[in-house]
Copies of this chain bind each other. A is one copy, B any other.
Amino acid sequence: MSLVRFGVVGVGGMGAAHCQALLQGKVDRGQLTAVADTESGALEKFTALETFATGQEMVRAGVVDAVIIAVPHYFHPPIAIDALGQGLHVLVEKPIAVHKADAERMLAAERDPALVFAAMFNQRTDPVYRKIHQLIQDGTLGSLRRVNWIITDWFRPEAYYASGGWRATWKGEGGGVLLNQCPHQLDLYQWLFGMPQRVRGYCALGRYHDIEVEDDVTAYFEHADGRTGVFITSTGEAPGTNRLEVVGENGKLVYEHNKIGFTRNEIGMSEFSRTTSERFAVPPSTVEEFTFDDHGSQHLGILQNFVDAILDGAPLLAPAVEGIHSVELANAILYSSLQDHAVELPMDSAAYERCLQDLIAGSTFEKKTTPPPETDSLAASIPS
């Protein structure tokens, strides 16, 4: 194989962007050959390609080698399981699933181990986060002590939520800002800092919007080695903040406004504390700054890496198997808040699934939507 033939399932939102990238030849050795969407109107733009009403039909037509899944979150697992079962490589949009049990089912599905299964964590390509990853991995920061991430620049007005009946409902989306906007940062959190051992979430449901799910979150994480983390997000705040502070033995790193400031201790803070005889001394330090011209290759980078993994065996930047962690973090934060106590990880995925089913069953929320309806209702076509 010298070329990967792509099919995109769901072309109402991000799927359309991925189609465009492929059609414009931006992905080397990647060719778009088919699209699927339950909204026939959404397919009209793609008459030069094979078009299908459902992903199920597309993956059986023998016209694609790989599938990009860009339908609403609940339908990621069934479509991925179906496509993998048909011997196709899969790239799934974030979050890989709404809840951990679904992610477990998807990851446990029988498949040819040679198939490439990746997730669209495009922010892993951002040179900012790659730099932070490197400074942690190579020991520059030293043992981590504390993380504080305020990621509230996800402002969404009511019109956003009113644009799709499935949006921000337990039944249609399974959560709010943690499921829709924050999978990136939750993935980066676990990628950079590892998974916590204990999660305490404080979620406000519909604090800022006429929705039934969370749109304002504060979470506190405790890790096995004692490091702590605070994660704050919201879709109701404007102007928002994206500020990440990471404290390690050897210094402090702050990312905000497109640059990283790193204050490096000449002597590690614990060693200095033990050895100085002065009561009010602080370790001597120097300041470095890293600036960035752009945010990297993003979606295109993930698409290209996916092709390179299929054709050349390149290591994946974001394997789907790692996507379960951001799902678990999102679930644990919400579950902790709903239960009003901390959740130990690994969390009980079956218990959370039951909790979510109860929320769906108990929902009396009437979602107000404004036309035009979005085209990402492919959901309905998926075999249940």
List of B residues within 8 angstroms of A270 by Cβ: 208, 236
List of B residues within 8 angstroms of A290 by Cβ: none
List of B residues within 8 angstroms of A207 by Cβ: 226
Contact indicator per residue, chain A 267-278, by CB within 8 Å of chain B (1) or not (0): 001101110111
Complex CA–CA separation, A280 to B282 (angstroms): 45
Chain B CB within 8 A of A156 CB: yes
Known: A230-B218, A230-B230. A157 touches B279 (CB 8 A): yes
List of B residues within 8 angstroms of A245 by Cβ: 150, 241
Chain B CB within 8 A of A155 CB: yes
List of B residues within 8 angstroms of A155 by Cβ: 269, 273, 282
Chain B CB within 8 A of A283 CB: yes
Q: Are B232 and A148 in contact (CB under 8 A)?
A: yes
List of B residues within 8 angstroms of A238 by Cβ: 265, 269, 272, 282-283, 285
Nearest CB to that of A270 among chain B residues? B208
Q: Are A278 and B157 in contact (CB under 8 A)?
A: yes
Chain B CB within 8 A of A18 CB: no
Q: Are A157 and B208 in contact (CB under 8 A)?
A: no
Chain B CB within 8 A of A19 CB: no
Which of B157, B272, B285 sits near A273, CB closer than 8 Å? Answer: B157
Q: Are A252 and B263 in contact (CB under 8 A)?
A: no
List of B residues within 8 angstroms of A209 by Cβ: 273
Known: A238-B285, A247-B237, A285-B239. A156 touches B274 (CB 8 A): no
Chain B CB within 8 A of A159 CB: yes
Interface SS, A side: mixed
Q: Are A263 and B239 in contact (CB under 8 A)?
A: yes
Q: How many residues of A contact B (CB 8 A)?
A: 54
Complex CA–CA separation, A237 to B230 (angstroms): 16
Q: Are B218 and A204 in contact (CB under 8 A)?
A: no
Complex CA–CA separation, A134 to B152 (angstroms): 25
Report the minimum CB–CB distance from A293 to chain B (whole Å): 23
Report the minimum CB–CB distance from A8 to chain B (whole Å): 22
List of B residues within 8 angstroms of A100 by Cβ: none
Chain B CB within 8 A of A325 CB: no
Report the minimum CB–CB distance from A240 to chain B (whole Å): 8
Using a CB-CB cutoff of 8 Å, which residues 44-62 of chain A contact chain B? Answer: none
Known: A157-B281, A265-B238. A208 touches B148 (CB 8 A): no
Chain B CB within 8 A of A158 CB: yes
Chain B CB within 8 A of A353 CB: no
List of B residues within 8 angstroms of A124 by Cβ: none
Contact indicator per residue, chain A 95-111, by CB within 8 Å of chain B (1) or not (0): 00000000000000000
Using a CB-CB cutoff of 8 Å, which residues 186-233 of chain A contact chain B? Answer: 200, 202, 204, 207-209, 216, 218, 220, 222, 226, 228, 230, 232
Report the minimum CB–CB distance from A155 to chain B (whole Å): 5
Q: Are A279 and B237 in contact (CB under 8 A)?
A: no
24 contacts between A and B (CB under 8 A): A145-B236, A146-B152, A148-B150, A155-B282, A157-B273, A157-B278, A157-B281, A159-B281, A160-B279, A163-B279, A200-B200, A202-B222, A208-B269, A208-B270, A208-B273, A230-B232, A236-B270, A237-B247, A237-B269, A239-B251, A239-B263, A239-B282, A241-B245, A341-B341
